[in-house]
Amino acid sequence: MKYEIESFELTKESFNLLITEAGFNTKKDFARFVNLPYNSINNWGNNGNKFPKYVMTLMIALIKSRKYDSLMKSSSIMLECEKLKDENVKLKSIIHNLEAEVKKFEVLKKSINRINLYANREAESLK
């Protein structure tokens, strides 16, 4: 949502939407955040009480900050996913190399068994 600060006049309804979009559950939560009495904030927009000029700028900054935090969180998750993919490729290569070594070992084991068998036959024939 894009806001034109100069041309946009806050109403109670639009303020409530901004509160929600900024990540606050209630106006009381917002009041605690800005360290203002809840009654003051609740009176904004009532009986000629205008919203302070800084509120719109503050709300836009809070919304952008929330979106930035969300983006950074998703970016860090994507970065972590890429690291895991790279690690997975390395591990697959290690597994492939180990499997090749196991095959070599099996061939050597068979050769040693054949040599032992041949040596045992030769030893028996010499008796």
What's the rounded mean pLDDT across residues 13-24?
93
pLDDT digits (tens, 9 = 90+) for 75-123: 777 777 888 888 888 888 888 999 999 999 999 999 999 999 988 888 8
* Confidence bin at 4 (pLDDT 50/70/90): low
What are the CA-CA distances from residue 74 to residues 1, 51, 70, 80, 81 (Å)?
A: 20, 34, 6, 10, 10
Q: How far is CA 48 from CA 12, 18, 42, in A?
A: 12, 20, 13
How far does Cα 105 stand from its chain's mean position?
43
pLDDT tens, residue by residue, 74-85: 777 777 788 888
